[in-house]
Structure 1
Amino acid sequence: MDFSGTATSDQSGGLPSAVKDTARRLLVKLGAAGLGLKDVADGGGLALADVEAVFPHRDDLLTALIVDAYNGSAAAMERADQAARDAGAPAGARLLAVARALRAWSFENAAEFTLIYGSPVPEYHAPGSTVPPASRTPAVLAGIVRSALQAGELAPPRRAVPGPPLLLPAAEQLFGGVPEAPFSDIIERGIVLWSSLIGLLVFQVLSRTHDSVRDESAFFDYAIAVAAEGIGLTVPVGEHTD
């Protein structure tokens, strides 16, 4: 049974939305591992039986929250990318725009960010229904890299990384196939960029850089520009605000 919903359906109200809204508030206090259906019922002034009617088990509720978090964060990136494209921005500027959008969403929704990118929840195993929403984030990045490749905006890598292809078929399919040399490892490099983005956000959202750099938003832009060099893309680092 799928109660995952979307941000749009949340706005329309209803019991599933009320339960999820309460659960999101409690995530800040209890964390995902401490979240229980009774906590949600008590926190939302609901009968436990009503909560269990829409989310029979805690894992059903966690899955719904995870799906919503992936969809919400990806939607922010997609909107930023569309706005950048509408403005005629090159791929580097698009990348910076979507990275900044994900950063903004992550700080505004820190508990949900931690739910999807933090430590695994003990005894919870994400079902297959979480995969398509989770794939939206790398799909945005892949679209930008693919556009840059097609537009001739990528510089060839300075050296080839030795070894056999490291990709699973799903990764090749998401990108639309493996490009020819000298960009035949661009998908692997794109995965490095993706993981660098998420790792950087983990550091910033969990306050791992605040005592190391003077301006965290400026450092974020700088780090994205450095990571983008690995795929041969120039990111125009401009003005920023915290």
Structure 2
Amino acid sequence: MTGTTPRARARARTMEDIVRIGREHLAVHGAAALSLRAVARDLGVVSSAVYRYVSSRDELLTMLVIDGYSELGDAVDAALAAAPEEPAERLRVVCRALREWAVTEPARYGLLYGTPVPGYHAPAEQTVAPGTRVMGVIMYLVETAYRTGALTTPDPVPAVSPGMSADFDRIRDEAGITMPDWVLARAISVWTALIGAVSAEVFDQFGADTFTDSAEVFEFQLHNLTRMLGFSSR
């Protein structure tokens, strides 16, 4: 905050406190019960004062959504920076980082990838960029693996309808990628399967006593996902 005014620094600290308290309330009460009045109480101000910083519950939810996506993205980036160069392992490292963050932050993961909050619609202009950050990393890794010949091309190559191929063209243009239809289709399958696997664990969909080592289960799932994508088995 170097170069800012004392008033701006004080406001920034208050906004940080609001997000911190919002995180705490999210973990205890859930997103649907988030209340600016309760946040104001824990902030130590009258309820009307908090509206000078956050205009509504929806704005607070948006702040928490952006905060969650940003922290998850940072965790993934840090894990990838320390990852080995082997393409399949780099993908697995990213997937593990997502899972580890989700298991550590189940309430925040639930806000990002769980049941939508009734009545809340995340503003796309604020949330799409941070919300697609991790997916973008995975697409980059898949693109690199394809370009370097690390993926085995299926024989025959699965056919894609003209309509879906047009959708893929738009995705490629927006994401700046060149992978062919069959690779992009598999990459999307990997992403949705990854979120499904993590959600099943975070939301206890397997049941509390089903598996003794959920991390080992996840490793088998990662093996299957990399095989589906076209990496050779190892």
Deviations 1:64-95 (A, max 9, x none): 100111111111111111211xx4x2111101
Gaps of 5+ in 2: 1-10
- Greater fraction of residues in helix: 2
Who is 1:227 aligned against? 225
Gaps of 5+ in 1: 1-11, 237-242
1:172 shift after superposition: 1.1
Q: What is the alpha-carbon distance in structure 2 between the residues aligned to residue 45 and residue 160 of structure 1?
A: 62
1:235 shift after superposition: 6.9
Q: What is the alpha-carbon distance in structure 1 between the residues aligned to residue 173 and residue 32 of structure 2?
A: 34
> Which letter does structure 2 place at the counterpart of 1:176?
G
Deviations 1:5-35 (A, max 9, x none): xxxxxxx960111011001001112111110
Q: What is the alpha-carbon distance in structure 2 between the residues aligned to residue 169 and residue 160 of structure 1?
A: 18
Who is 1:142 aligned against? 139
Report the CA distance shift for 1:59/1:170 in structure 2 as closer, same or farther (over 3 A).
Answer: farther
- Contact 2:76–2:94 (8 Å) recurs in 1: yes
1:202 shift after superposition: 0.5
1:233 shift after superposition: 2.0
TM-score normalized by the length of structure 1: 0.84
1:45 shift after superposition: 2.4
* Equivalent in 88, 103, 109 of residue 92 of structure 1: 88
Q: Secondary structure at the match of 1:54?
A: coil
Deviations 1:95-138 (A, max 9, x none): 11111111111111111100010100111011021000011011
Q: How does 1:27-176 map to 2 (within 5 A)?
A: 27-84=26-83, 87=84, 89-128=85-124, 129-165=126-162, 166=164, 167-176=167-176
Report the CA distance shift for 1:225/1:169 in structure 2 as closer, same or farther (over 3 A).
Answer: same
RMSD of equivalent CA atoms: 2.0
| Higher Cα radius of gyration | 2
Q: What is the alpha-carbon distance in structure 2 between the residues aligned to residue 157 and residue 127 of structure 1?
A: 39
> Which letter does structure 1 place at the counterpart of 2:79?
A
Who is 2:198 aligned against? 201
Report the CA distance shift for 1:97/1:58 in structure 2 as closer, same or farther (over 3 A).
Answer: same
Q: What is the alpha-carbon distance in structure 2 between the residues aligned to residue 123 and residue 221 of structure 1?
A: 37
- Contact 2:168–2:181 (8 Å) recurs in 1: no
Report the CA distance shift for 1:220/1:234 in structure 2 as closer, same or farther (over 3 A).
Answer: farther
Q: What is the alpha-carbon distance in structure 2 between the residues aligned to residue 114 and residue 233 of structure 1?
A: 30
Q: What is the alpha-carbon distance in structure 1 between the residues aligned to residue 140 and residue 177 of structure 2?
A: 12
> Which letter does structure 2 place at the counterpart of 1:190?
A
Q: What is the alpha-carbon distance in structure 2 between the residues aligned to residue 143 and residue 219 of structure 1?
A: 26
- How many residues end up aligned between the 2 structures? 219
Q: Secondary structure at the match of 1:140?
A: helix
Report the CA distance shift for 1:64/1:222 in structure 2 as closer, same or farther (over 3 A).
Answer: same
- Contact 1:171–1:187 (8 Å) recurs in 2: no
Report the CA distance shift for 1:34/1:158 in structure 2 as closer, same or farther (over 3 A).
Answer: farther
1:174 shift after superposition: 4.8
Q: What is the alpha-carbon distance in structure 1 between the residues aligned to residue 128 and residue 135 of structure 2?
A: 11
Who is 1:6 aligned against? none
Who is 2:214 aligned against? 216
